[in-house]
Structure 1
Amino acid sequence: MDTDEHVIEVTGLHRVYEGGFEAVRGISFHVDRGEIFALLGTNGAGKTSTVELLEGLASPASGRVRVLGHDPYAERALVRPRTGVMLQEGGFPSELTVAETARMWAGCVSGARPPREALEQVGLGRRTDVRVKQLSGGERRRLDLALALLGEPEVLFLDEPTTGLDAEGRRDTWELVRALRDRGTTVLLTTHYLEEAEGLADRIAILHEGRIATAGTPAEVTAAQPSRISFDLPTGYFLGDLPPLAGLGVCEHEVDGRAVRLRTRELQRTATELLLWAHRAGIELAGLDVRSASLEEAFLSIARDAAAPRTKEYAA
């Protein structure tokens, strides 16, 4: 894709705090126009440090950041009017009403649309006269999102956008974010809800200890993890009665009494051979469960891998 479509470009990015702590250690990735990109990571992985650099709140120790073709820190005046930011906590005056808060914020936004439109968009059209302190946690998140959308941004930064929302509110927010993407808005998302990242994002990057541990589409990231097959062997059968596990494509296995858990990178072949064996033996594999790897498994695998630092750069 033409680099003009790379709305966000990060190259060799480092961020070092006072005292020498290196929170971001040379990461590189890009986000294309009209794409939802999820930045995930373990605690202390460098997500917030990275996003603050993208938002122009600080300058990197080294490396390059471009948002809409500009340095978001040095050329903040060119970038900020074209971006929207939804923080984890808005911190708005509790005594103001929803409408008053939106009007106040609109006065700080270049080319803001009518606040009522943004409030309607997030489902707060009937709550305009309610004071902020009377809103539920989920409604406050909706207000945060409405204010981020006042300027109809080309680039939208969403930091934990559905925290505090119920299931219906979360689905509504997902649909809204997808609609924004479909209209050409570029979205960079951070979230602790892996289901949210898997369902929303076109691509993801998982940070670990300041580096990108893996990146790609959700399917590509999960495909790097082995799939699982579990079942209970019938009485009188043991693991050694199965065909050779290596020949089945099994890369790991566990046995707990009669319960057998297999991991494989060739799920279809392993499952087929296992079922054919059971059919020939005339036995039933009780509790049979066959499933592909999940994003959660990929995430937890990375979280456990705290040993050797990774040096590979991903051109996400």
Structure 2
Amino acid sequence: MTTPSGQQVFHEHRRLLFSVAYRLLGSAADAEDAVQDAWIKWSAADRSQVADPKAYLTRIVSNLALERLRSARHKRETYVGPWLPEPILTGGDAAEAAVDAESVSSAMLVVLETLSPLERAVFVLKEVFAFSHVEIAGMVERSEATVRQAAHRARAHVRARRPRFTADRSRQREVTERFFAAATGGDVNALMELLSPDVTLWTDGGGKVRQALRPVVGAATVAAWFAAIGTVAYQGVEPADMKAELLEVNGGPGIVFSAPGRVIATLTFDFDADGRITALHNVANPDKLHAVAGGTSYDIGTR
């Protein structure tokens, strides 16, 4: 029986490594870079001493992502307007597994952004990927006691900001389709019926394109914002030249807006238990749209 090559072993775990890195970084480009750097380290390692390649590779990519996360925090503090994660098209396991989908939702990634880098790593590795405290301690090079404390703080923080109640996926899809029809048809009343009274719209232009620099709050205001889609130019694109598609974005139903030759924005949703829209995340910063524009559908499952 032949032993798998280092390349085969790495390829076997590559999807897992991207899934970890993306949840830690909120950026597909940075996650891909972390995975590539992990391959370089893995190639140079003495693999004869590695008893558990999965844990070893996860340790490498987690530490690489933590380094990137720490250096990115200053940039995000000076970011123009709200910071939202880089959207990705999703498919595969996440389409079936609610936990996988929830953990890459725009809303969850925004909450994870408020954790310290260590808390974020511990939360993702424990709650999403089900590694033990002992395993995580080895991965992040901290004591088990420190990891347990970080896990406790992170879990409490996330639960306070991200209650675990949401409409089922078929209901989410139905509401998204109705929103899509109402927005493209300019039907303010239909939009109002779908929105929670205190709905919040977050827009991320990153200072590159004109967007709201503060959250837009309230059903009437948000409905008016989207009812205008079919009547006014957006980023210099006339309504007749704009295409909107319903696609799976970050584990749930989303809308991708494009003009000839480029993607101009994505829109994802957060729902309450009754299926009303409580938040919308609109990413228009062109630097964050490369993954969607590339058309790659990521399988961000955790198994």
TM-score (norm: length of structure 2): 0.21
Structure with the higher fraction of residues in strand conformation: 1
Higher relative contact order (CA 8 A, sep 6+): 2
TM-score (norm: length of structure 1): 0.21
Structure with the higher fraction of residues in helix conformation: 2
